[in-house]
């Protein structure tokens, strides 16, 4: 999505950058259904409706440099005169009073056009396509490989499902770690789309055909990704009946939105919408039957020796609601593999070239490697993603940097913009799956050491802190990738426009945003996080007595 940088539409790059991110989310190469304003995750939308979208754009164009636009669940509701130090956009999305925070109430309110589902990065306009989840997926399988297979998935079979906007990162991440992967998807057209973008290598029309590929490539210990046309619940059951045990099993179907997005056994994707509308009770019944079969198959494969984990779509929670027995018999990917990274404030940091020039991203790739030359993992990631991933929409990059690396990188980026070394400003943002930005007991905060899984003060504090530090856009949301009632999460974006004021804001925003995450994990009694807080004096004197009190107890 190239732009003429000399002709911005807004009164400054702060507003223009946010507007371009909003438009980028609806780029046909990125969005699931741009005509419906749906970006990813089944129903994740950038705005409540088309009228709201146009009003948001109009307000961003006319917004003064000391104004703040307020967005309520995808609808603009007010512009207030605040300060040049304040955010230009503040958002709240899908927030419901806890007692009423359930799918039934949400659906009723949505029908009245009083709210909408923003997922996470769709609602906060920071979605960057499959690359957004790719490094987290790559990191996850890399951690699995390190722990179980001496650092490589070569010669290993991974079974998963779901090739939607988020799930499409799975085959690339697995093959990037050397493995062979079967990704099941019920929608043949989606598999064809992933073939065209090289997200998968081959398509198989049957399990037998897929297994022929598997046999060949496992023997050669060469990577291959296979898109298998089929229903995940049925295919997983077939692995059991044929006594085939993959090395790793996970899933990324849209189980977080069971009724609206998950396709049950015996139903074609093109039939689903009509059946939901004509006979919702029947559809609900067959969905429940399918999800129970799905989770049982995963449990059975675990008993047979497969490494099994929930990949963040709340399939276990959905199965529990449907009546499955003990669906939480296997862990989720964060509590099992990624939590040590969160303890050091390392997470899904990302940046986007607002100029549309890919060279801006390649220059920042070089920068991140020069700033952190001793990080072998980072070097492997940059090399991998440059060779395996084509830009979609605005060129972007994601790297799991920690709370000290992010502000250093951000300051240098801002100076590069100031000196004209880049074609235009850079939007610096992140996924909502960060250390301080989410409370999600079935995903990010599952099985916390101190039992604080459901404590949602942290993402609220995170949003307040980012607002006080002057991020360009700050939002607080509910639901995310696990569904209505299951998480509270916050988003943040700051536009590096080269100004001195932005440089000062970057120092605070990019340190305190992830730094609060270190404090969150220190408070939960993780020693690695406590050591960082004490050694770096993070949070200063306000926090140290709390840690000492816990140690004394």
| Nearest by Cα to 479 from 172, 283, 256 | 256
Q: How many Å apart are CA 514 and CA 177, to the nearest integer? A: 27
Measured CA angle at 330 (ends 320, 288), to 5 deg: 25
Q: Which two tokens stand for residue 213?
A: 């590929």
Q: Which two tokens stand for residue 410?
A: 């951000």
Q: How many Å apart are CA 34 and CA 29, to the nearest integer? A: 10
Would you say 463 and 476 are in contact if contact means Cβ atoms under 8 Å apart?
A: yes
Q: Pick the catalytic residue: 25, 343, 399, 469?
A: 399
Strand, coil or helix: 214? helix
Q: What is the residue whose two structure tokens read 């059975």?
A: 300
3-state secondary structure string across 372-397: CCCCHHHHHHHHHHHHHCCCCCCCEE
- Neighbouring residues of 396: CB distance < 8 A, sequence distance ≥ 6: 128, 129, 131, 132, 350, 351, 352, 353, 361
How would you classify the pairing of strands 67-72 and 75-81?
Answer: antiparallel
5-29 b/e with 16+ CB inside 10 Å = b? beebebbbbbbbbbbbbbbbbbbee
| Nearest by Cα to 295 from 279, 308, 282, 280 | 308
- Neighbouring residues of 471: CB distance < 8 A, sequence distance ≥ 6: 87, 492, 493, 494, 505, 509, 513
Indicate if 399 belongs to the active site.
Answer: yes
Strand, coil or helix: 326? coil
Which sequence positions are flagged as catalytic? 399
């Amino acid at each position: 999505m190239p732009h003429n940088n000399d002709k911005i539409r807004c009164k400054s790059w702060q507003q223009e950058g946010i507007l371009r991110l909003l438009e980028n989310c609806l780029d046909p190469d990125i969005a699931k259904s741009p005509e419906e304003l749906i970006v990813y995750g089944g129903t994740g939308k950038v705005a409540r409706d088309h009228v709201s979208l146009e009003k948001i754009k109009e307000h961003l164009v006319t917004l003064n440099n000391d104004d703040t636009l307020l967005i309520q669940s995808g609808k603009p509701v007010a512009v207030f005169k605040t300060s040049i130090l304040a955010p230009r956009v503040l958002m709240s999305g899908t927030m419901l009073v806890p007692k009423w925070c359930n799918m039934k109430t949400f659906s009723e309110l949505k029908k009245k056009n009083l709210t909408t589902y923003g997922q996470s990065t769709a609602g906060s306009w920071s979605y960057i396509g499959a690359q957004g989840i790719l490094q987290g997926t790559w990191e996850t399988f890399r951690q699995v490989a390190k722990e179980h297979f001496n650092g490589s998935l070569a010669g290993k079979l991974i079974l998963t499902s779901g090739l939607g906007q988020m799930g499409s990162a799975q085959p690339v991440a697995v093959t990037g770690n050397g493995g062979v992967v079967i990704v099941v998807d019920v929608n043949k057209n989606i598999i064809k789309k992933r073939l065209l973008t090289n997200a998968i290598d081959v398509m198989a029309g049957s399990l037998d055909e897929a297994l022929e590929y598997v046999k060949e490539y496992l023997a050669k210990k060469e990577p291959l990704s296979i898109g298998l046309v089929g229903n995940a619940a049925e295919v997983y059951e077939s692995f059991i009946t044929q006594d085939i045990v993959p090395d790793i099993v996970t899933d990324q179907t849209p189980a977080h939105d069971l009724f609206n997005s998950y396709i049950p056994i015996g139903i074609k994707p093109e039939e689903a919408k009509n059946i939901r509308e004509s006979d919702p009770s029947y559809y609900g019944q067959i969905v429940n039957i399918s999800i129970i079969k799905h989770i049982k198959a995963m449990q059975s494969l675990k008993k047979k020796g497969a490494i099994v984990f929930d990949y963040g779509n709340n399939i276990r929670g959905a199965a529990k609601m449907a009546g499955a027995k003990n669906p939480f018999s296997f862990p989720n990917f964060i509590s099992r593999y990624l939590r040590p990274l969160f303890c050091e404030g390392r997470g899904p940091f990302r940046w986007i070239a607002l100029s549309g020039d890919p060279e801006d991203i390649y220059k920042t790739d070089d920068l991140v490697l020069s700033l952190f030359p001793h990080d072998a993992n980072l070097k492997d990631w940059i090399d991998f993603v440059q060779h395996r991933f084509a830009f979609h929409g605005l060129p972007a990059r994601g790297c799991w940097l920690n709370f000290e690396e992010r502000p250093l990188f951000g300051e240098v980026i801002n100076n590069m913009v100031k000196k004209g070394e880049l074609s235009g400003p850079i939007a610096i943002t992140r996924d909502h799956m960060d250390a301080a930005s989410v409370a999600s007991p079935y995903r990010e905060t599952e099985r916390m050491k101190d039992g604080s899984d459901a404590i949602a003060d942290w993402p609220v504090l995170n949003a307040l802190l980012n607002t006080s530090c002057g991020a360009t856009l700050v939002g607080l949301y509910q639901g995310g990738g696990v569904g209505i009632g299951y998480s509270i999460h916050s988003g943040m974006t700051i536009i590096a426009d080269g100004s001195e004021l932005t440089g000062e804001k970057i120092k605070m925003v990019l340190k305190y945003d992830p730094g609060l995450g270190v404090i969150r994990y220190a408070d939960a009694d993780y020693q690695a996080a406590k050591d960082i807080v004490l050694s770096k004096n993070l949070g200063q004197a306000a926090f140290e007595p709390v840690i000492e009190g816990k140690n004394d107890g």
